[in-house]
């Protein structure tokens, strides 16, 4: 079995070596928030729990330290399909890794175990079931494993939304391997789950790191559902040839929608729990291998989806909790590039969920925890509150997870982007609707009331003489979809009630009367029509978000597509998913910078040594051919800013202000680190902020003159728009933090 190459042994003491390892294998030139702290905990052997949203970069936190230390880290992961992709991904980066699980033949298992015993691998992926076997534990004891990483750690908690009984055995880990440190990773944020994970795993004096829950590269939209198929097709057509996931509430919706999409020429595939394990695996593989664009699925689909270039997630109905919504939308834009999340919402979704839950309680084998329904209903109510057109979606989500959102306008949700215009005569419309509900004696549903208001000539209306009502035809100038949507919005604002499960009817409440007497104002938004295609060729508003504009800037689309098909070809030759060859972010940068030689390709984001060796030449050939025939410029400065994730503006937080004061007084980096108990990377960010704002004449206090001049000279030669070329130019001898400080200073003082 080929486990991949053996990396050179490095001295774990030097922090810069960690960066060197990350650069060499992954081709990244900066760490994301909390990564350094998390890696430090792993290197120090201190138990830890890292909570970062999906796509936040959790895996690097145990992978890079495993490479740096010359030792095995055991990774416990819930899904075998996930393990295979992770192993393939690591090998593509030149990191030796194996999986030990039931998908292997006995022969392969023996070989893998042998390789682990010989110390030929750095990462061993195993399922919790395997962890429970005595023979596997004996193997780990023989190897003397000192580090365990628990992926999707919320699966151990009853409080989480994805409890897995087999995870419970991991409680034994600390007892059986007392000398080892355990590191838990999850994207589930709520405090009780977090505390439960730490307790269940028996973490000792753990470093608990909780990241920012915002996903700035995602644009959220909530749209009233009226013409579901048309609305679905609209979203898909905004993303031609791009990957998307469409979530439906029920299997039968999946079964109806999938053929419909196919008949519209869309490469779609179905996925739900009613399919056999083989069928599901096949669907999963087809999607991961980029042989289809759209998966139509129930919530059963998702865990184990690592395809990083999912550009949109569409919910055709409201999910049953914000945790689910965050998890499901989290599968979009894992590569940090822009992606869109659209939720088609109707007030009826709440009724559907309640019915499903009552049914599941009715069908349960044993007694049901009495708190179950209560807690489930609360989750639904929170989710419904999110759907109301009241508060910025980014803010709503972040606040739900107990964090603060600073920006006034996120620039990436329907409300902040102004997709939906306020309806000018909202109050009058609201009053017409409410009085119609009164006229039909609060005994009819939304469809009937909307029909009366529009003056529909139907038997149901004539039969009840509702065509004789004063409100008949009062909203005839609006479409049926509009009137129904207005009704939903009033329900959303709790100015109107919808009661009853089977046949919900509209009823008035005190707030309704306040509106009718003009003591309260109703707000209505026109049905939003996001324009098409958030692409470079679309009008500015339709690009969806700032992120989209930034990340396509200067990218040659045709070249990007050519590189993308080359990636597909190379991936299928190797039997690995395309995103493991290169991420979309790397392809865009290649199609923007268009390096003219292999050594220049090393400057590109995501190109480490192994990938340069394995894929560099083929990429270069395509670049040459395309650039020659279409006369495209080469070696462009990489002017576009990094993906939006890394670009989130850093506000001068409390820490930064204190740090700035210390730096102003001449404190060294180490002193500030100790004083504020911050990681080096964070302290350097503070210093960088200080330099940018205060523009000191010299930074010799923190960077020796000699090094400063070296970096400045290198920046002169290769440009200062990206750090990586400077790092390479200086033979990787000057750490990134130092380069960043010098460049910040150069830029800050140059403007004067």
Residues near ligand ADP (CB under 6 A) are 28, 30-32, 35, 52, 54-60, 308, 334-335, 583
Please report how the helices 654-664 and 680-694 are oriented relative to each other, as an axis angle in degrees rounded to 10. 70
Are the beta carbons of 215 and 74 closer than 8 angstroms? Answer: no
Nearest to ligand ADP of 35, 321 (CB atom): 35
Nearer to Zn ion, 534 or 595 (CB): 534
Distance CA 92, CA 83 (A): 14
Determine phi and psi for 418, rounding to 5 degrees. 70, 30
Contacts of 569 (CB under 8 A, 6+ apart): none
CB of 389 to Zn ion, least distance (A): 11
Nearest CA to 322 among 375, 380, 374?
A: 380
Could you tell me which stretch among 409-417, 431-439, 440-448, 506-514 binds Zn ion (CB under 5 A)? 409-417
Instruction: Say whether 255 sits in a helix, a strand or coil.
Output: helix
| CA gap 284, 278 in Å, rounded | 10
| Tokens encoding 383 | 């989710």
Please count the residues of this chain forming the interface with Zn ion, following the rule CB under 5 A: 5
Residue with tokens 């209306």: 461
Pick what 57 binds: ligand ADP, Zn ion, none; C-beta below 5 to 8 Å, kind-dependent. ligand ADP
Please identify, using beta-carbon distances, which residue of 59 and 231 lies nearer to ligand ADP.
59
Assign residue 202 a region: left if phi > 0, alpha if psi is -120 to 50, beta otherwise? left
Question: Shortest Cβ distance from residue 32 to Zn ion (Å)?
Answer: 22
Least Å from the CB of residue 290 to Zn ion: 31
| C-beta closer to ligand ADP: residue 231 or 308 | 308
- List the one residue out of 593, 591, 532 whose CA is nearest residue 561: 591
416 binds, among ligand ADP, Zn ion, none (CB under 5 to 8 A by kind): Zn ion
Binding segment for Zn ion among 325-333, 403-411, 442-450, 543-551 (CB under 5 A)? 403-411
Nearest distance, CB of residue 398 and ligand ADP, angstroms:
17
Nearest to 186 by CA among 382, 327, 362: 327
Least gap, CB of 551 to ligand ADP (angstroms): 13
Cα 80–chain centre separation? 21
- Interface with Zn ion includes 410 (CB under 5 A)? yes
| Residues 320, 162: Cα–Cα separation, whole Å | 13
Beta carbon of residue 407, minimum distance to Zn ion (angstroms, whole number) = 8
Mode of pairing for the β-strands spanning 123-126 and 243-247:
unpaired
Only segment of 267-275, 416-424, 682-690, 708-716 that touches Zn ion (CB under 5 A): 416-424
| Residue 413, binding choice from Zn ion, ligand ADP, none, Cβ under 5 to 8 Å by partner class | Zn ion
What is the 3 state secondary structure string of 532-592?
A: CCCCCCCCHHHHCCHHHHHHHCCCCHHHHHHHHHHHHHHHHHHCCCHHHHCCHHHHHHHHH
Q: Which stretch binds Zn ion (CB under 5 A): 43-51, 402-410, 633-641, 728-736?
A: 402-410
Angle at 330 between CA 329 and CA 336, to 5 degrees: 120
Beta carbon nearer to Zn ion, 185 or 345: 345
Q: Which residues of 68-98 are buried (b: 16+ CB within 10 A; e: fewer)?
A: bbebbbbbbbbbbbbbbbbbbbbbbbbbbbb
Q: For the CB of residue 497, give the shortest distance to ligand ADP in the complex, in Å.
A: 40
Which is closer to Zn ion, CB of 222 or CB of 337?
Answer: 222
- In whole angstroms, the minimum distance from the beta carbon of 27 to ligand ADP comes to 9
The site partner of 583 among ligand ADP, Zn ion, none (C-beta below 5 to 8 Å per kind) is ligand ADP
Which of residues 431 and 678 has its CB atom nearest to ligand ADP in the complex? 678
The correct pick among 43, 413, 436, 516 for binding Zn ion (CB under 5 A) is 413
Q: Look up residue 67 and give its two tokens.
A: 């490479």
Partner that binds at residue 410, options Zn ion, ligand ADP, none, CB closer than 5 to 8 Å by kind? Zn ion
Q: Which does 392 bind (CB under 5 to 8 A by kind): ligand ADP, Zn ion, none?
A: Zn ion
Category of 304 on φ-ψ map: left (φ > 0), alpha (ψ -120 to 50) or beta: left
Residue 590 interacts with Zn ion (CB under 5 A)?
Answer: no
Shortest Cβ 219–Zn ion spacing (Å)? 9
Q: State the binding partner of 59 from Zn ion, ligand ADP, none, CB within 5 to 8 A by kind.
A: ligand ADP
Which candidate, 384, 419, 388, places its Cα nearest to that of 526? Answer: 419
Q: Provide the binding-site residues for Zn ion, judged by CB under 5 A.
A: 392, 394, 410, 413, 416
């Amino acid at each position: 079995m080929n486990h991949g190459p053996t990396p050179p042994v490095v001295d774990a003491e030097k922090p810069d070596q960690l960066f060197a390892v990350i650069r060499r294998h992954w081709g990244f030139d900066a760490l994301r928030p909390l990564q350094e702290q998390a890696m430090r905990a792993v290197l120090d052997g201190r138990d830890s729990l890292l909570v970062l949203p999906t796509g936040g970069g959790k895996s690097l936190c145990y992978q890079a330290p495993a490479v740096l230390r010359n030792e095995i880290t055991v990774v416990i992961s819930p899904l075998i399909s996930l393990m295979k992709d992770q192993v393939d991904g690591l090998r593509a980066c030149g990191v030796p890794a194996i999986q030990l699980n039931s998908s292997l033949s006995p022969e392969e298992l023996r070989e893998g175990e042998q390789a682990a015993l010989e110390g030929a691998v750095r990462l061993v992926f195993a399922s919790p079931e395997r962890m429970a076997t005595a023979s596997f534990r004996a193997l780990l004891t023989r190897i003397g494993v000192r580090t365990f990483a628990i992926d999707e750690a919320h699966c151990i908690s009853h409080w989480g939304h994805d409890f897995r009984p087999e995870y419970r055995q991991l409680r034994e880990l600390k007892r059986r391997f007392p000398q080892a440190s355990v590191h838990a990773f999850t994207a589930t944020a709520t405090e009780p789950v977090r505390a439960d994970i730490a307790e269940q795993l028996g973490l000792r004096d753990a470093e608990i790191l909780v990241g920012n829950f915002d996903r700035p590269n995602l644009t959220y939209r909530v749209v009233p559902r009226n013409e579901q198929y048309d609305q679905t097709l609209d979203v898909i057509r905004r993303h031609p040839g791009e990957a998307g996931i469409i979530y439906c509430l029920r299997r039968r919706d999946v079964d109806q929608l999938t053929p419909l999409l196919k008949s519209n020429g869309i490469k779609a595939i179905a996925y739900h729990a009613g399919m056999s394990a083989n069928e599901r695996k096949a669907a999963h593989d087809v999607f991961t291998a980029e042989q289809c664009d759209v998966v139509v699925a129930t919530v059963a689909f998702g865990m184990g989806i690592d395809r990083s270039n999912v550009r949109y997630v569409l919910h055709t109905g409201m999910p049953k909790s914000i945790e689910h919504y965050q998890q499901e939308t989290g599968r979009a834009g894992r590569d940090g590039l822009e992606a869109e999340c659209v939720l088609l919402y109707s007030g009826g979704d709440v009724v559907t969920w309640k019915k499903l839950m009552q049914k599941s309680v009715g069908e349960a084998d044993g007694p049901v925890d009495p708190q179950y329904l209560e807690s489930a209903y609360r989750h639904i109510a929170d989710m419904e509150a999110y759907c109301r057109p009241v508060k910025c979606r980014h803010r709503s989500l972040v606040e739900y997870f107990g964090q603060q959102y600073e920006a006034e306008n996120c620039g990436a949700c329907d409300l902040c982007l102004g997709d939906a215009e306020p309806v000018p005569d909202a109050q009058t419309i609201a009053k017409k609707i409410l009085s119609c509900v009164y006229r039909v004696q609060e005994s009819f549903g939304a469809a009937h009331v909307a029909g009366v208001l529009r003056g529909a000539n139907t038997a149901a209306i004539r039969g009840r003489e509702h065509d004789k009502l004063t409100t008949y035809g009062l909203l005839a100038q609006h479409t049926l979809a509009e009137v129904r949507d207005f009704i939903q919005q009033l329900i959303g604002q709790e100015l109107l009630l919808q009661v009853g499960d089977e046949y919900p009817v509209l009823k008035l409440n005190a707030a309704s009367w306040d509106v009718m007497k003009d003591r309260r104002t109703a707000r209505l938004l026109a049905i939003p029509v996001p324009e098409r295609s958030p692409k470079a060729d679309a009008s500015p508003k339709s690009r969806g978000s700032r992120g989209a504009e930034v990340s396509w800037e200067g990218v040659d689309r045709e070249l990007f597509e050519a590189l993308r098909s080359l990636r597909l070809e190379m991936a299928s030759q190797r039997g690995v998913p395309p995103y493991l060859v290169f991420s979309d972010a790397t392809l865009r940068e290649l199609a923007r910078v268009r390096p003219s030689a292999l050594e220049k390709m090393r400057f590109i984001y995501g190109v480490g040594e192994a990938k340069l060796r394995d894929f560099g030449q083929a990429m270069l050939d395509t670049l040459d051919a395309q650039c020659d025939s279409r006369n495209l410029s080469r070696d462009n400065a990489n002017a576009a800013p990094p993906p939006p994730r890394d670009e989130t503006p850093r506000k001068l937080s409390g820490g930064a202000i204190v740090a700035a004061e210390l730096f102003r007084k001449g404190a060294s980096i180490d002193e500030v680190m100790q004083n504020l108990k911050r990681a080096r990377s964070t302290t350097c960010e503070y210093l960088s902020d200080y330099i940018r704002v205060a523009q000191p004449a010299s930074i010799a206090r923190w960077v020796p003159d000699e090094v400063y001049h070296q970096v400045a000279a290198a920046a002169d030669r290769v440009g200062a728009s990206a750090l990586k070329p400077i790092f390479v130019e200086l033979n990787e001898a000057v750490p990134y933090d130092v380069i960043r400080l010098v460049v910040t200073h150069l830029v800050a003082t140059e403007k004067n």
